[in-house]
Amino acid sequence: MRFYYAPMEGITLYPLRNIHRQIMGDGVDKYFTPFLTATNNHHFKNREKKDVLPDKNIAFDDYGNQVVPQLMAGNAADFLWAAGEIKKLGYEEVNLNLGCPAPTVVNRHKGAGLLQDPEYLKQMLDEIFEEAAKDSFPQISLKTRLGFSDDKEADALMNIYAAYPVKELTIHARVREDYYSGSPRYDAYKRAVEVYRKSGGKADICYNGNVDSVKSFEKIKDLPCDSVMIGRGLLTDPALVRCLRGGEALKPKELRDYLGALYEGYAQYIPEDRNVIFKMLEHWAFLHVHFKDCDKYLKAIRKSRSKGEYHAAVNNIFAGCEFIGSAY
């Protein structure tokens, strides 16, 4: 079984990917970047382009093939331009986002918005794969959901995907209207994979949805998949993949070192201490579960306004709270 770190907007940026790889990454096979928007003016935003530059991704030659840029596009021409630019940077794979549920994305007929119009999606993929076959393009993988509002929509989607030489098909076991809430639709996921295979689909299958502990992983072990993509579970427990592979649970010193390295990594990426602290608070929204009765300590972390205040508050939560560790 392979394990992937899922793309998460504004979070899985190169400082996180680099630090996780160095400190916690043993066993993570791929890291997916937050999506880069393929705009019609054929120009990446500076912050998006910066995130995928080889010199920002440590030991690129070592694990460059383990970093996969994800692209958000609403038409074939924009996607093909963006994929070509990514290839120039040395990447061997790009991932097309067909699952983002955000209204700002869906309303622009991108992400999960494309799932509402299977005919248009098929036309778009026809153009993408026809052109990609002619030139030296990266391999193309897809990340999708089971449908927009009904998981029965998955049958038509899987028939479409099966027609193309997709490197890997990641299926988030929810529909767009679920967003990220409720239990994954395990039975619908299983049926979708069956339809994909019966339609001739040959790509490896990656499961995505609510893997946040060893216990939750047990629920999907019998589902048909070659790999598992984890997002919020790895933000909550950076050592989760190690645990899933039978390794040791997260240790307090390890987490402390990880947080310290993250802060310094973000400080090189983001101007001003307060902005770095805001970025760290995104992690504490998940990580606080490792500390028992931590409300007052967490409040102090949230109220910190300088690097010194922040680190003092972090020291206090480690010193004053019982460390719970990984959720087996």
**Hey, which residues does 68 pair with through a beta bridge?**
32
DSSP, collapsed to helix, strand or coil, labels residue 72 as strand
Contact indicator for 297, 317 with CB cutoff of 8 Å: yes
Per-residue pLDDT of the chain (328 residues; tens, 9 = 90+): 999 999 999 899 999 999 999 898 678 999 999 999 998 899 999 989 999 998 887 544 554 468 999 999 999 999 999 999 999 998 989 999 999 999 999 999 999 999 999 999 999 999 999 998 887 789 999 999 999 999 999 999 999 999 999 999 999 999 999 999 999 999 999 999 999 999 999 999 999 999 999 999 999 989 999 999 999 999 999 999 999 999 999 999 999 999 999 999 999 888 899 999 999 999 999 999 999 999 999 999 999 999 999 999 999 999 999 999 765 5
Contact indicator for 257, 23 with CB cutoff of 8 Å: yes
Rounded CA-CA distance 258/162 in Å is: 41
Q: Note the pLDDT of residue 218.
A: 93
Contact indicator for 14, 41 with CB cutoff of 8 Å: no
Q: Note the pLDDT of residue 269.
A: 83
**Hey, which residues does 97 pair with through a beta bridge?**
143
Q: Note the pLDDT of residue 65.
A: 65
Alpha-helix runs per DSSP H in 202-292 = 214-218, 232-236, 240-244, 252-267, 273-287
Q: Note the pLDDT of residue 63.
A: 47
Q: Note the pLDDT of residue 60.
A: 47
Rounded CA-CA distance 218/93 in Å is: 29
Would you put residue 273 in left (φ > 0), alpha (ψ -120 to 50) or beta?
A: alpha
Specify the pTM.
Answer: 0.95
Tokens 């916690």 correspond to what residue?
A: 24
How far is Cα of residue 120 from the mean position of the Cα atoms in its chain? 25
